[in-house]
């Protein structure tokens, strides 16, 4: 099952002298249960592609299909993109972006509440997600009391709150040492395998590429499947 398919995406920033063609006809697919790496030099368009797939930054041209449903058709939104994004897509960034005055448990609970999953079972579900990510004992702590690796685990727990079909992660291990970085990448693979989620990860870390099923490389707004096999 294809979780996400992008076809011929084009994205330009600015005009005239400041024009940057960030995506110049990019196509890719990520299947349910698959972990996909996105490599490429700085400025090559990786984050632009990720935010286009995440319905945060629609391309001018091209189509995005989520779970068989065309949600961007030749650059035009089909339906309520914000609602689709909330229900179907989880995001993880370089910094965890946890809300600093909420505990880990409350951060996850808030995400559940925002997805209309509020109710008596919310408390237990938040704990279940934290347990699943190996930070079940840290739920009562505030983000600043957690290590970087623990914060990212909480951020992944939060991203899983709506049971998304797609997780998009932009350099999620850049701030971690290599050991914790690998642990986080392995968690993404576990999530993909066990939850059937498609996970697309932008990374510069060539040491963890063995975790991925598919590797794409971005170069100057163009994407190709890497010859490097995972």
Q: Which residues bind Mg ion (CB under 5 A)?
A: 47
Interface residue with ligand ATP among 1, 27, 43, 82 (CB under 6 A) is: 43
Tell me the closest approach of the beta carbon of residue 205 to ligand ATP, in angstroms: 12
Of ligand ATP, Mg ion, none, which one does residue 101 interact with (CB within 5 to 8 Å by kind)? none
202: left (phi over 0), alpha (psi -120 to 50) or beta: beta
CA nearest to 82, candidates 46, 106, 56: 56
For position 167 contacting ligand ATP by CB under 6 A, the verdict is no
d(CA 131, CA 154): 10
d(CA 50, CA 62): 14
Choose the contact partner of 48 out of ligand ATP, Mg ion, none; CB within 5 to 8 A by kind: ligand ATP
Number of residues this chain uses to bind ligand ATP (CB under 6 A): 12
Cα gap 209→199, rounded to integer Å: 14
Between the alpha carbon of residue 169 and those of residues 94, 96, 135, 173, the distances in Å are 8, 11, 19, 9
Provide the minimum distance between the beta carbon of 170 and Mg ion in the complex, in angstroms, as a whole number: 6
Nearer to Mg ion, 132 or 188 (CB): 188
Positions touching ligand ATP (CB under 6 A) are: 13-14, 20, 22, 40, 42-48
């Amino acid at each position: 099952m294809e979780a996400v398919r992008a076809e011929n995406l084009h994205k330009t920033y600015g005009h005239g002298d400041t024009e940057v063609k960030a995506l110049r006809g990019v196509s890719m697919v990520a299947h349910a249960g698959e972990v996909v790496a996105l490599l490429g030099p700085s400025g090559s368009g990786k984050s632009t592609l990720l935010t286009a797939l995440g319905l945060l930054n629609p391309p001018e041209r091209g189509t995005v299909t989520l779970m068989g449903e065309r949600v961007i058709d030749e650059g035009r939104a089909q339906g309520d993109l914000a609602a689709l994004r909330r229900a179907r897509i989880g995001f993880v960034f370089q910094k965890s972006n946890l809300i600093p005055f909420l505990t880990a448990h409350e951060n996850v609970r808030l995400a559940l509440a925002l997805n209309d999953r509020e109710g008596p079972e919310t408390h237990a579900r938040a704990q279940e997600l934290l347990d699943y990510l190996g930070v079940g004992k840290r739920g009562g702590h505030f983000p600043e009391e957690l290590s970087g690796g623990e914060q990212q685990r909480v951020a992944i727990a939060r991203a899983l709150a709506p049971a998304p079909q797609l997780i998009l992660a932009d350099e999620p291990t850049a701030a971690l040492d290599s050991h914790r970085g690998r642990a986080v990448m392995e968690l993404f693979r576990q999530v993909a395998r066990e939850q059937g989620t498609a996970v697309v990860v932008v990374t510069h870390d060539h040491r963890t590429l063995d975790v991925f099923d598919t590797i794409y490389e971005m170069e100057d707004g163009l994407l190709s499947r890497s010859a490097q096999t995972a």
